[in-house]
Amino acid sequence: MKQAFLILTVLVLAPLTPLLVADELDLSRELLSLTSESQRQLADAARDGSIEIAPVDLPVKAPGDCNHYGWPIASMVGDSLVVMHRRIPGHNPRGAGGPHEKMSYGVVLRSGDGGKSWTKPYDLRDCMKPADRNRGGIVPLSHRFKFDKKNKSTEGYKIHLHAIGTTRDGGVVAINNHGVFRSDDKGQNWTHFSKALRDDTFPHQIVNIGPRVIDHPDHGLLVFGNWFGTASAPKLNDELVVLQSRDGGKHWKVNSHDVGFPQYEPAVFVHNNRIRFITRDQTNVRAHQQMTWSPGEKPSVTATNMKNPRYVDTVDFSFNPVTKRFEVVRSERYRMELWLWSMDPADWKSGKWRREYRLLAREGKFYSTADGFHPAGAVIDEKRGVQHIFIYTGHPNGPAGVFRISRTLDTPKLSAVLNPASQK
């Protein structure tokens, strides 16, 4: 990470350099709005090559009011990173503005050099048939209650939020409010499965999904979520919803399991042939819980010590090949901070996680003057020895932009810089 200190310094400390054009530099600083303490700590970590922060996609020339770029998730296929994010009017609809023809819930970018450079953003709707692109309206089915309340059409794709994953045969499958998409050339070209999860082929509620598509060797593609109700009346319940495809994403079956609480946007991966989950508990929107499940079994639930006074966010959940520990990247949005937690896999049943270090801290009040971070769908890049974490940050009405945080997998090393005794 030889450029790490320089990039971070350009963003938060130094005057303009050729690394970023003026409008990108000024907007990056505005959207990050790091606290002075976080600036100092990150600069120290960047200087020794432990962390790098750089923009991925910013609303420099946003279409209409759609200047809120957010909820990025990523997957890695070979040496290529593929990121997908939204381009919408805002998070808080009050004061955000209105939809635009270029509003999209599936903007993708590719990088072949670890995130140093990115392709031009591509709107996945551009590979859709004209009849499907705006099925039921410009605003997709699950978000009409927020941005198109007068539209009572029931046509559209019965998906809210998004998921992405790499298949065992080298494909990338991306699912979002516009349906199911697949690329077999590392994200360069995409196919839309027109009928998958569409209103006339999926006779179920809308499904609110977590950030990861996994390709299980015995069960095919799996995506996890919760029932969302209808477009006019979103409503959660206590069931884990499992979407399954055995043909690469064209067709999907669904089943659900009662887990005893309204779980939301589960982060998942397969470990020792069992599927592990960290999921939001929407009872009071203040905690994350663990779940363990295998097809044919009943999910088991474990309470954790990962609690917030309010405003839990969707996490990233992974296994660190360097420390050999489970790790969770988790927002504390009530004070606009991003933290890393870890656990020895042998302690899984305890639900007790260790708070390792604060990745960054931002000025502002969540959903009022500040917005972010949604670190879900991060990528372990073992070859480079880093985890690429993708976040959004900005204002809840826009502008907001997408950033990459690439941090060393040597957790103790970074903790020594970012987690002084005063923060513990």
- For the segment 131-184, what is each residue's pLDDT rounded down to a tens digit? 999 999 999 999 999 999 999 999 999 999 999 999 999 999 999 999 999 999
Q: List Cα–Cα distances, 63 to 119, 162, 237, 324, in angstroms.
A: 19, 22, 36, 44
List the domain boundaries for the chain: 4-423
pTM here is 0.95
Q: How many CA atoms lie within 13 A of 83 on its CB side?
A: 34
DSSP, collapsed to helix, strand or coil, labels residue 136 as coil
Helix axes 22-32 and 4-12, enclosed angle (nearest 10)? 80
Phi, psi of 235 (to 5 degrees): -155, 135
Calpha distance 317→398 (Å, rounded): 28
- DSSP result, 356-398: EEEEEEB-S-BTTTBEEE---S-EEETTTTEEEEEEEEE-TTS
Q: What is the mean pLDDT of the chain?
A: 93
Is 30's pLDDT higher than 80? yes
pLDDT at position 15: 34
Q: Is the pLDDT of residue 412 over 80?
A: yes
In the predicted structure, residue 410 carries a pLDDT above the cut 70: yes
Q: Which amino acid is at 200?
A: D
CATH class of the structural domain 4-423: mainly beta
Between residues 23 and 348, the one the model is more confident about: 348
Residue 232 banded pLDDT, cuts 50, 70, 90: confident
* First-to-final CA distance of the chain: 27
Q: Is the peptide bond before 89 cis (omega within 30 degrees of 0)?
A: no
pLDDT band at 109 (very low <50, low <70, confident <90, very high): very high
Distance CA 173, CA 35 (A): 37
- Residue 303 β-bridge partners: 289
Q: Determine what percent of the chain is predicted with pLDDT higher than 90.
A: 90
Looking up tokens 């520990």 gives 325
Residue 5 has pLDDT above 70, yes or no: no
| pLDDT at position 46 over 90 | yes
What's the confidence (pLDDT) of residue 206? 97
Given a cut of 70, whether residue 20 has pLDDT beyond it is no
The helix/strand/coil state of 41 is helix
At 243-282, the pLDDT tens digits run 999 999 999 999 999 999 999 999 999 999 899 999 999 9
Q: Give me the pLDDT at residue 25, please.
A: 85
**What is the pLDDT at residue 104?**
98
**What CA–CA distance (Å, rounded) separates 394 from 100?**
20
Q: Rounded to whole angstroms, how far apart are CA atoms 292 and 213?
A: 16
